[in-house]
Amino acid sequence: MAVYGYARCSTNEERQDIDRQKRELRAAGVPDDQIYWEYESGAKKDRVELDRMLSAAREGDTIVTTEVSRLARSTQKLCEILEEVKTRKMRLQIIGSMTLDCRPGKETDPATVAMLQVMGAFAELERAMISARVKSGLQNARAKGHMPGRPATTADSIPAPFYKIYARYKSGTISKTEIAKLYGCSRTTANKYIAIIEGTHE
């Protein structure tokens, strides 16, 4: 039976962290070519690499991730994934935490399902609290006359390595999705950089 791994970070600034996740997945027995990873929000319903992994997995296969929050920071999305694992008779392993084994011949443990759902609820709560703190900080900064935020990205500030990959895209040898993969950024960032270079960014 195949073993698949999933790693996720919200932004490409967390590149070091996603590398740690990949190392842990390899150590757990996931082959390099079966590790799916991406830079996307855990609250996002549709994620390309997560969907690709779930589409590739078959009955009896194992899905491995480092934390519940990597799969989802939305209780609804996590419950959808858990239901898919149960319905398709797969095995879900959270490294160093717990395993939900729904493969043929195995009996699904209701307590494990419930615990995973609780962990998912805490991940969603954590995200909401972080968001609230950020909004509060921005409001306080504005009240004091400060305008927080990053400087606007310009064609001059886009890193040189991206331009090299962009040249391959313009020659038609790679797609936008492959640009993001090669550069190690989200598709949103790749699309933004391309729009700035091509003068179509609003």
Q: Where are the beta strands (DSSP E) in 103-185?
A: none
Do residues 21 and 10 make contact, with C-beta atoms less than 8 angstroms apart? no
Measured CA to CA, the distance from residue 98 to residue 144 in angstroms comes to 47
Cα–Cα distances (Å) from 199 to 128, 139, 155, 196, in that order, read 35, 32, 9, 5
Strands 35-39 and 62-65: unpaired
Beta bridge partners of 93: 64, 99
3-state secondary structure 130-162: HHHHHHHHHHHHHHCCCCCCCCCCCCCCCCHHH
Give the active site residues: 10
Do residues 3 and 30 make contact, with C-beta atoms less than 8 angstroms apart? yes
Structure tokens belonging to residue 167: 């040249």
Task: Provide the Cα torsion 44, 14, 98, 84; round to 10°.
Answer: 20
